[in-house]
A and B are shown apart, each in its own frame.
Chain A
Amino acid sequence: MNNQACEQVQAQIGEYLLGGLPDAEREAIESHVALCPRCACELADTRRALDALDQAGLAAAPTGVADAVVAGVADRLRQGLRPRSRFGWPLAVAAAAACLAVGALGIWLGTRPTGRDAGGQVANERLVFEAQAVVAHARSVLRQLDDVKREYDAIGRMVNGGPGPMKRGDRTEGPKVIGNLKGVGS
């Protein structure tokens, strides 16, 4: 497809989707789009943006540009004021503005956090916090286990050994004293 034909078709996509083109031009666009993937893509994108605009009831648009333009075009169509020619500038300007507004709205709708996404993020943050809370609890359990173990070891050292791990020199003086007194009292 040549660039000139594509530019012409893409300039008319807004009007086409809003039903503002004469039958011959509408058919010409449909024939072109059937053979040109780039324009088919452009048409699909603009249609998706328009659908989103429709679902959002226009009220969700960040500015009043989109609804004002679309409503203006729709009024003209309702009144039967079709463009005098395919290059009729008032409708062309309106359609271009509508395309821009619709494109901007599409980008905004596509990138803003929707209620569901924001809710998902909140739920994820809560879940992360829960996991952190259990980690903090597990660490407090570790400290408790360490404390009781240290206490056990300290008692073991102080009460002169017995079962369990003992190091050399942990025992109190009793056996050593007895060793020093070998033969005493005999």
Chain B
Amino acid sequence: MSRHRPVAIGALLAAAAVLAAEALPPRGMPENLRGMAPEAREALGEIRKIAEQQRALAQQAPRAKSAEEREAIFRAISENLRKIAGLRVRILEHQLARAKARLEWAKPHAAQLRLAQVVLAMKQAGGPPRGPVAPGPNGGPVAEARRKVEEAISRLEALQQRAAKAASDEERRTLRHEIEKELHAVEQQHVAGFEAIVSALEERLAWARRQAANQGPK
């Protein structure tokens, strides 16, 4: 029996992990929250078209032969600027709504995520992904959260080395507790990063609204 005990314990734990994971909501960000909001993408396409028109108008302006012609160009450019200001508000509104939806998804997900679920996900993926994560953009609203996640990864790598040499069940319990603590820390930063994006978009939207008000018809 003693020879088969580790296998039996392993099988029981795997079964328990499967049951525990099945009881939890699925991992991964929902498809409809990934990437840019379709309305924002559409509005960006309009802005690009208008920007092209602006370039053409800018080239036309020095060649204007009369005051009326120049006046018409000026009006067209002003109108385009007004449209851009409106589109900018629209894009930021949609993107802010999406960022808020992501945050609403991330908060309970972070609170409910368990070690067993993360382990199961990696088993399903066939092991840890190969290759490091490409260095992310520096600075900006999520930089602090990103830095803290990287610190958690360093701590987890040290825990891996300690786990390989654990000599007692007590030590293993302590290490597992620390691994769970790091998972919690990572999820906290996951939410913090999304919150930072929401705040930055709110700030940008407020600015865009002020700009749009200034660009309004006089």
* B3 partner, pick from A115, A144, A147, A163, beta carbons under 8 A: A115
- List the B side residues contacting A177 at CB < 8 Å: 54-55, 57-58, 61, 77
Q: Contact between A184 and B208 (Cβ–Cβ < 8 Å)?
A: no
Contact B91 A155 (CB under 8 A): yes
Contacts of A48 in B (CB 8 A): none
Of the candidates A116, A126, A150, A159, the one whose C-beta lies within 8 Å of that of B137 is A150
A93-129, CB under 8 A of B: which get 1 and which 0? 0000000000000000000001110111111111111
Interface string of B146-186 (1 = CB under 8 A from A): 10011011001101100111110100100110010011001
Judged by DSSP, the binding face of A is helix
Residue from A133, A135, A146 within 8 A of B121 (CB atoms): A133
Instruction: Check A184–B122 contact: CB distance below 8 A.
Output: no
Closest to A136 in B: B128
Q: Does A174 lie at the interface of the complex (its beta carbon under 8 Å from any beta carbon of B)? A: yes
Chain B positions 7-33 with a Cβ under 8 Å from a chain A Cβ: 9-10, 13, 29
Give the number of A-B contacts (CB < 8 Å).
Answer: 233
List of B residues within 8 angstroms of A176 by Cβ: 58
- Cross-interface CB contact of A145 among B62, B156, B190, cutoff 8 Å: B190
Is A156 on the interface with B (CB-CB < 8 A)?
yes
Q: Tell me the complex Cα distance, A151–B102, Å.
A: 13
With a CB–CB cut-off of 8 A, which chain A residues contact B73?
181, 184
- Interface size of B as a range: 35 or more
Contact between chains at A155 and B92 (CB < 8 Å) = yes
* Complexed CA–CA distance, A120 and B35 (Å): 45
Question: Considering only CB atoms and an 8 Å cut-off, how many residues of chain A contact the other chain?
Answer: 57
- Taking Cβ atoms with an 8 Å cutoff, the residues of B that contact A are 2-3, 5-6, 9-10, 13, 29, 34-36, 40, 44, 47-48, 51, 54-55, 57-58, 61-62, 64, 67, 70-71, 73-75, 77, 80-81, 84, 87-88, 91-92, 95, 99, 102, 115, 118-119, 121-122, 125, 127-129, 132-134, 136-137, 139-142, 145-146, 149-150, 152-153, 156-157, 159-160, 163-167, 169, 172, 175-176, 179, 182-183, 186-187, 189-190, 193-194, 197, 200-201, 203-204, 207-208, 211
User: Interface on A for B, CB 8 Å cutoff?
Assistant: 114-116, 118-139, 141-153, 155-156, 158-160, 162-165, 172-174, 176-178, 180-181, 184-185
